[in-house]
Amino acid sequence: MSSRGLRERKKAATREAIGIAAWRLAVERGPDRVRVEDIAEEAGVSRRSFHNYFATKEEAMASLALDRAERICSALRERPAAEPLADALAQLFADEYTAGGRPDRALRAAVARAASNPGLMCALERAMLATEAPLAEAIAGRTGTDARRDLYPRLAAAAAVSALRATIEFWLTARGTPPSLRDMLARSIAATVPPAPSRPAVQEARDGV
């Protein structure tokens, strides 16, 4: 491995460690009680190093959403070609957003506590929106479309992210004990992402037919 490749891996590992530390402290203490210094100490880096990666603590907390999106895009490219896109995305989103084996009750309480901070919620919203472009590119590669020429990949990416956001919001605010987050995510994304168009349909849309 080249020295440049090793440096990039170390930078990615440091960024992830800061993001994990930021989210962990936000859950344990509440976002308003977490300082940049606390996150840096938890991650084992200096304040200066923290700011090499993130401008604010909210950005660090929201970075995990971008990391999830990157893993989803990478995994989507490896799914069986014959698998319907909606099914593939449903599985991948459910896997990423319920990883770790934490019981739903504990996960719901942790996410709700962290989400009580308006700044963090704005950062999370921006992070989710930022995932749409790379997801559209991955969808385009899988479906034989072009994210710059065709509407479908952007539409499918926006549908998946919107379903994710709506499902998590409902899950957090539902009265009583809601269904499993994993099951809800899988169902909502599978039902929301439109089927990939046929090649003739893509060409007709490009031609304005």
- pTM to 2 decimals? 0.80
Question: Is 48 in contact with 142 (CB distance < 8 Å)?
Answer: no
> Which domains are delineated in the chain?
3-197 (1.10.357.10)
d(CA 124, CA 69): 12
What DSSP assignment string belongs to 129-168?
Answer: HHTHHHHHHHHHHHHT--TTT-SHHHHHHHHHHHHHHHHH
pLDDT along the chain (209 residues), means of 10: 76 92 84 92 96 92 86 93 93 86 68 74 80 94 92 96 91 82 93 86 67
pLDDT tens per residue across span 96-138: 888 765 556 777 777 777 777 777 777 778 888 888 999 999 9
pLDDT tens per residue across span 132-149: 999 999 999 999 999 999
